[in-house]
Chains A and B, each alone.
Chain A
Amino acid sequence: MKTALLTGASALLLSLLGGVAGAQTIAITGGTVALGDGSEPIQGGTVVIRDGRIVAAGRGVAAPAGAQLVDATGKWVTPGIVAGFSRVGLVEVDAVDATNDVSARNSPFSAAIDVAPAINPKAQPIAVNRAGGVTRAIVAPGTAKSIFAGQGAVIDLGADMNPITHARAFQFVEFGEDGTQDAGGSRAAAHVLFRNALREAADLGRRTGVASTGAARPATANDQRTLPLEDQPDNSLLGAGRTRSQDVLLTRFDAAALVPVLQGRQLLMVHVERASDILQTLALRKEFPSLRLVLVGAAEGWTVAKEIAAAGVPVIASALDDLPNSFEELASTQSNIGRMRAAGVHVSIGMIGDNEARQVRQARQYAGNLVAVGRLPGATGLTWGQALETITSAPAEAVGMGSEFGSLKPGRRADVVVWDKDPLENGAAAQLVLIDGVQQPLSNHQTRLRDRYRTLPEGPLPKAYDR
């Protein structure tokens, strides 16, 4: 009885897939299918998966002969949710320092820090958010003593020991109030610290023969280039025998880590909220034309949306900030994302300073709220399809990986979720989660506690024997 209640709806789906691995053909039929590309959902659509990739999705798509069938009638099918800015996998319990690898207050390094080896695929927040339908995450380190936090990664939330989709996908920088503190106390200091760091990187590159490409590579919102999955550091930058000037602030490792940023081979993700800070960040490309920028936060982005759009710089924004929580967010409004999008900015949702190590599953609720905002007089929100896009393909595109995941377009990794209802609605539950076409377990510490305490009276033995 208890078991039936607990697993009821999902058991049917799970039995149909029964222990499948990735290397085969799966057809999910009959559901309401949303592609994640901004389009509106399609009734009675089919999603076909082969060898861990999407083959086709939409109405009129036939299930190939011999495919394993998943009946999603009455359910919703979407790409897995992509956490646009997160710290998932770096933390087990925020306030337990030994389990919190977000920032390194006592490290001599900054830009060289690489979060990839710190990701723990067995951390409960990975399992909990996987059960919430989150399949990929953009994971950033946090700053400590420098404006440079280090290099972030793109990960999957699969239940295996290989979480890294793309290590060192970007360098993360704090350029607002946080950066001011990290730089010693003023925005002016943050800017000179940044410029000095890139100049030291340029000097190191010259001395070691890793010359700048010189050519600016435009950072476009829909950069579909497939990046190398493991962009190895330039070993020549780190080799012995190459002397540096004595007049340097950065360690050799940190300077080396900034060479790909300077040369536009690695994204530079910048957290700014205030309108003037946004414009100053965009202006960095006058001095460093190869920078490939992504803005994070941008609470006042709507006030300079035309400039952001003209620069072609994608924004990963907080969805629902509407308080003047600081003096750099005075103009915050829940219409920020809608207004930026309407102005032509490429926008996605991130959880910046918002329980980003544990609650990225709330991105769906945030997206749903932007639909609600669109129905308020005087406000600007999103359509349902656009809202889903901000938590699937848009963040993938912001880090240049839109061709790899984030939508149900052919060729994408088969990160697919079957939901019991409209996934943007409160309380929608993921019933089937595929990552790279592999069915994922949805149980975790929380579901086990739930099952243990579904009824309270203890039996002949204490609760500790109930499992």
Chain B
Amino acid sequence: MSNKSWLFAPAIAALVGCAAAAPPQREASAPPAASPKSYSHDPYPSTYRAYPGVLTAIVGGTVFDGEGKRIDNGVVVLADGVVRAIGGADTPIPEGATRIDARGKWVTPGVIDIHSHLGDYPSPAVEAHQDGNEVTGPVHPDVWAEHSVWPQDPGFTRALMNGGITSLEILPGSANLFGGRSVVLKNVPARTVQAMKFPGAPYGLKMACGENPKRVYGSRNQMPGSRMGNIAMDRATWARAVEYKRRWDKYERDGGEPPARDIGMDTLRGVLAGEILIQNHCYRADEMANMIDMSKEFGYKITAFHHAVEAYKIADLLKANGICAAMWADWYGFKMEAYDGIEENIPLVHNAGACAIVHSDDPNGIQRLYQEAGKAQAAGRRIGIDVPDEMVWTWLSYNPARALGIDAKTGSLRPGKMADVVLWNGNPLSVYTRPERVWIDGALMYDANDPRRRPVTDFELGQPGEGDVK
């Protein structure tokens, strides 16, 4: 089981305007084309292609559109990999559509987990699979999580079948101040990580506050050995990055002798240019405030704080700065900086008008994010914060999509967006509910009633329990 994972549990958050009031500042798009004089910004490009789907009409269910709207007795039409239509019972159903009877069921955008280590801490969790932290130094913006992802991690399939996860961000761990680049994946089984990469999703950079970096390196009598050491190393690194960016910007603009390449600095330059989103592991309120000041000192934006166990203490600050908080429903006390975790964190952040996200950081929790949202909703109601079911779903799809820079493509059921859709066999905030079908880009990737629509990883072939209901 996973109860030791938090020691390294990575977290960091990323970008763009999650606050309810602030529109997304950045449209998801392919990484900007490099200057002809420059280096590639996308040297490991996505090879993902949507799997074939059929024209499908999901009829009669309760629909949450992912942006806070609810349609009773709704119709959702999927065609050519995208949502073609969403509406009430009078929505036209195209001729030839496969009709799915969703009466008594719920239809939502797929769940997006902004914080996962599937693939880089896969099952089985043997030593040879511990690939999520480059624990040889505290500053490693040069490593990329995608180069550790094992596509055969059985955890991806459980997240699909039990959790309704259609997209997810894989982050490096939190042992380091600069943990490396994250990667956004479509949750489809594949032979290579490239075939899972979400087309056009911006990269993230994982940063970490607090206990983990100072514990890992302080125990080796290396810097950082304290929280002030964390910040000092962060600032020294950002100062170098500003200079690196200045030199490369000048070269790309004016030509001349190209500056020396530094793979880690490429990442930091991307952050300073707004191409790469900061996903910042941070628990304590005071440390989040320090990180915000540091981002202003060096001119970058923090997209999201991850874990953010004390976000409720500074929800006003998060709102004012347009920073999302990706949180657990009820984790607390596993380490000192998690001591003040409370069950009302998520609804309090939402209620303050800031951008709330439910995240997992856990191969088991990712299978029940929708239940975690239900628990947080109930905790809010007990203190008079009544967030309707359809609004709660923004914590699971639209807000994480915004914080990953993919909200123009997925995260809600707007016509033209990717048909990443889950049909649930009951109210999807209930403990008694499970996904019945999951579509990714309009392709039916899971069907609870069809064992042939149940993926089995290479690792599980010929093993006890192969192909079982999990």
Contact = CB atoms under 8 A, between A and B. Distances in A.
B124 A456 contact: no
Given A375-B425, A446-B343, A125 B333 contact: yes
Interface string B343-377: 11000100010000000000110011001001111
B430 interface: yes
A6 B380 CA distance: 10
B335 A453 contact: no
Contacts of A449: 340, 342
Interface residues of B, number: 66
B464 A303 contact: yes
Interface residues on A, range: 35 or more
Contacts of A362: 330
A92 B449 CA distance: 45
A429 interface: yes
A409 B209 CA distance: 52
Find the residue from A124, A300, A377 having the highest chain B CB count within 10 A: A377
Contact of B463 (A330, A377, A453): A330
Given A375-B425, A376-B434, A427-B379, A456 B7 contact: no
Contact of B336 (A96, A334, A453): A96
Contact of A358 (B334, B342, B343, B364): B334
Given A334-B470, A355-B3, A358-B334, 6 more contacts: A300-B464, A323-B154, A324-B463, A353-B3, A372-B434, A377-B449
A271 B155 CA distance: 24
Find the residue from A324, A368, A372 having the highest chain B CB count within 10 A: A324
Contacts of B43: none
Contacts of B384: 5-6
Interface in A299-352: 300, 303, 318, 320-327, 329-335, 352
B126 A456 contact: no
A189 interface: no
B342 A450 contact: yes
B468 A320 contact: no
Contact of A327 (B124, B330, B451): B124
A454 interface: yes
A322 B162 contact: yes
A362 B375 CA distance: 11
A322 to B, nearest CB: 4
B316 interface: yes
7 contacts: A6-B382, A95-B7, A330-B460, A332-B465, A362-B330, A369-B431, A377-B449
B305 interface: no
Contacts of B333: 92-94, 124-125, 128, 358
A284 interface: no
Interface of B: 1-3, 6-7, 123-126, 154-155, 158, 162, 211, 312-313, 315-316, 330-336, 339-344, 348, 352, 363-364, 367-368, 371, 374-379, 381-384, 425, 429-434, 448-449, 451, 459-460, 463-465, 468-470
B85 to A, nearest CB: 29
Interface in A179-195: none
B254 to A, nearest CB: 49
B124 A356 contact: no
A425 interface: yes
A63 interface: no
B154 A426 contact: no
A344 to B, nearest CB: 21
A453 B1 contact: no
Contact of B124 (A95, A128, A325, A427): A325
A424 interface: yes
Contacts of B1: 318, 321, 325, 352-354
Given A93-B336, A426-B371, A426-B375, A326 B124 contact: yes
Contacts of B374: 426-427
The 6 closest A-B CB pairs, nearest first, are A427-B378, A368-B431, A426-B374, A331-B465, A331-B464, A95-B335
A327 B127 CA distance: 12
Interface string A357-394: 01100100100110111011111000000000000000
Given A332-B465, A377-B448, A446-B341, A456 B315 contact: yes
B431 A429 contact: no
Contacts of B341: 446
A456 B310 CA distance: 13
A333 B468 contact: yes
Contacts of B154: 323-324
Interface of A: 5-6, 9, 92-96, 124-125, 128, 275, 300, 303, 318, 320-327, 329-335, 352-356, 358-359, 362, 365, 368-369, 371-373, 375-379, 424-429, 445-447, 449-450, 453-454, 456-457
A292 to B, nearest CB: 26
Contact of B430 (A320, A425, A453): A425
B432 A371 contact: yes
A192 B376 CA distance: 49
Nearest to A125: B333
A356 B2 CA distance: 11
Nearest to A427: B378
A335 B432 contact: no
A334 to B, nearest CB: 6
A87 B394 CA distance: 36
A95 to B, nearest CB: 4
A9 to B, nearest CB: 8
B218 to A, nearest CB: 14
Nearest to B374: A426
Contact of B334 (A95, A124, A334): A95
Contact of B125 (A325, A331, A354, A446): A325
Contact of B378 (A329, A426, A450): A426
Contacts of B432: 368, 371-372, 375, 425
A318 B336 CA distance: 27
A155 B379 CA distance: 28
Contact of B468 (A323, A335, A450): A335
Nearest to A428: B378
Nearest to B1: A353
B158 A322 contact: yes
Contacts of B430: 425-426
Contacts of A376: 434, 448, 469
B363 A323 contact: yes
A335 B469 contact: yes
Contacts of B344: 450
A323 to B, nearest CB: 4
Contacts of A334: 162, 469-470
Contact of B313 (A93, A446, A453): A453
A67 B382 CA distance: 30
A429 B339 contact: no
Contacts of A457: 316
A6 B315 CA distance: 20
A210 to B, nearest CB: 38
Contact of A427 (B335, B377, B451): B377
A330 B342 contact: no
Given A324-B124, A354-B3, A356-B3, A425 B431 contact: yes
Contacts of B363: 323, 325
Nearest to B153: A323
A157 to B, nearest CB: 15
B187 to A, nearest CB: 15
